Amino acid sequence: MNLFFLLQTAVTPDTIFLLGTIAAIILLLFVFFYFVPIGLWITALFSGVRIGIFSDLVAMRLRKVPPGPIVKAAITATKAGLKDVEIGMLEAHYLAGGNVQRVVNALISADKANIALGFERAAAIDLAGRDVFEAVQISVNPKVINTPVITALAKDGIQVKATARVTVRANLDRLVGGATEETVLARVGEGIVSTVGSSTDHKAVLENPDQITKTVLDKGLDSGTAFDILSIDIADVDVGENIGAKLQTDQASADLQVARARAEERRAMAVAVEQENRAKIEEMQARVVEAEAEIPKAIAEAFRSGRLGVMDYYNMKNVMSDTDMRESIAKGSESKKDVHDPSQKKPGRSK
């Protein structure tokens, strides 16, 4: 009860007004220091960066641009000795969607390496989606790109597998709109395949791998790319399969299959012709039997008409009997030869 009474006596209109005033002052100070970054302005002032607290910092807040990254990039550029980098240029690049700190780092790296690179070109490279700082680094320290295993075929049909190391340097003038590393690798692979393919045999490639690099470099593969090719070194060369012999084997197998198919076709045609001839023979035999059936009728007609006498008829019968006898004797002798082959002799007993 005493605590409740003390609270009632302590909460007076004057106390409430005082607390509200303190809260309003705190809120105003928060808003003031948000829109007027005094600490950031002091840091820039002691770093040698000329920046207006209202014309620059407050204006950035009103334009919804965080002044922290802009001022930090300006301080970095000033300390590195870049005099042509201004706050307005950095803010404009930030509003365009660029990376301010990366552009400043690229400018510092280019300035230390005596590479001519202005803010506008660096900003253009950054807005094009390229890493301008990495490009400057590659321009200072050339990059080595390892190609995958490239398979080529010499004129003798032997497969050659090669891997290469391509040393490239970034060309800042062609970085915007220039082809990337994939294009360089594709062109190098195409050049290696073309060079190996023009070789007489795979031994020439194994003996002189540097000839591949000379031929590829002479083709100017870096045209239209964002890089300058400094050197191409063959890292490894291996002999693969004998594709020529494999193709010849496959062709011989295919020719054999074709020959077998044609032989089977001719055999089928021969069988068909044989069956047709047999049918013709059966037809001719039927006609012979039919004609023989007409012989008695013809003989009877000859008897009736007087063109054939009795003696003539018997003479004809004798001739036919002799002919039948000779045919039966001939058939019997042929069957005996087949059963008893005179070339086969029974082995005798050893004495």
pLDDT digits (tens, 9 = 90+) for 40-80: 777 878 777 777 776 777 777 778 788 888 888 888 888 88
* pLDDT beyond 70 at 30: no
Residues 6+ positions from 234 with CB-CB distance below 8 Å: 162, 163, 164, 209, 210, 212, 213
Position with higher pLDDT, 23 vs 5:
23
Q: Do residues 90 and 122 lie in contact, with contact meaning Cβ atoms separated by under 8 Å? A: no
**Residue 350: per-residue pLDDT:** 42
pLDDT confidence of 246, banded at 50, 70, 90? confident
Q: Do residues 162 and 192 lie in contact, with contact meaning Cβ atoms separated by under 8 Å? A: yes
Average pLDDT (72-97) is 87
**Residue 3: per-residue pLDDT:** 47
Position with higher pLDDT, 14 vs 173:
173
**Residue 105: per-residue pLDDT:** 92
pLDDT confidence of 25, banded at 50, 70, 90? confident
**Residue 320: per-residue pLDDT:** 78
Q: Which string of DSSP letters, residue by residue, matches 299-314?
A: HHHHHHHTSS-HHHHH
pLDDT confidence of 6, banded at 50, 70, 90? very low
pLDDT confidence of 339, banded at 50, 70, 90? low
* pLDDT beyond 70 at 83: yes
Q: What number of CA atoms fall less than 13 Å from residue 66's CA on the CB side?
A: 5
User: φ, ψ for residue 78 (rounded to 5)?
Assistant: -65, -45
- The pLDDT tens digits of the residues spanning 98-139 come to 899 999 999 999 888 888 888 898 999 999 888 889 989 888
The helix (run of H) or strand (run of E) holding residue 239 is strand 227-242
Residue type, 214: K
d(CA 242, CA 221): 30
* pLDDT beyond 50 at 5: no
Whole-number percent of the chain with pLDDT over 90: 9
Residues 6+ positions from 59 with CB-CB distance below 8 Å: none
Q: Do residues 97 and 73 lie in contact, with contact meaning Cβ atoms separated by under 8 Å? A: no
**Residue 313: per-residue pLDDT:** 73
**Residue 240: per-residue pLDDT:** 78
Residues 6+ positions from 9 with CB-CB distance below 8 Å: none
Burial of residue 51 (CB within 10 Å: 0-12, 13-18, 19+) is: buried
Average pLDDT (132-161) is 88
Average pLDDT, the chain: 81
Position with higher pLDDT, 29 vs 181:
181
Angle at 110 between CA 104 and CA 112, to 5 degrees: 105
Average pLDDT (306-330) is 78
Q: What number of CA atoms fall less than 13 Å from residue 8's CA on the CB side?
A: 5
**Would you call 249 helix, strand, or coil by DSSP?**
helix
**Residue 337: per-residue pLDDT:** 60
Q: 167-181: string of b/e by CB count within 10 Å (b at 16+)?
A: ebbbbbebbeebbee
Min mean pLDDT across 33-42, 273-282, 321-330 is at 33-42
pLDDT confidence of 2, banded at 50, 70, 90? low
pLDDT confidence of 34, banded at 50, 70, 90? low
Length of the chain, please?
351
Taking residue 106's Cβ as centre, other Cβ atoms within 10 Å add up to 28
Taking residue 40's Cβ as centre, other Cβ atoms within 10 Å add up to 18
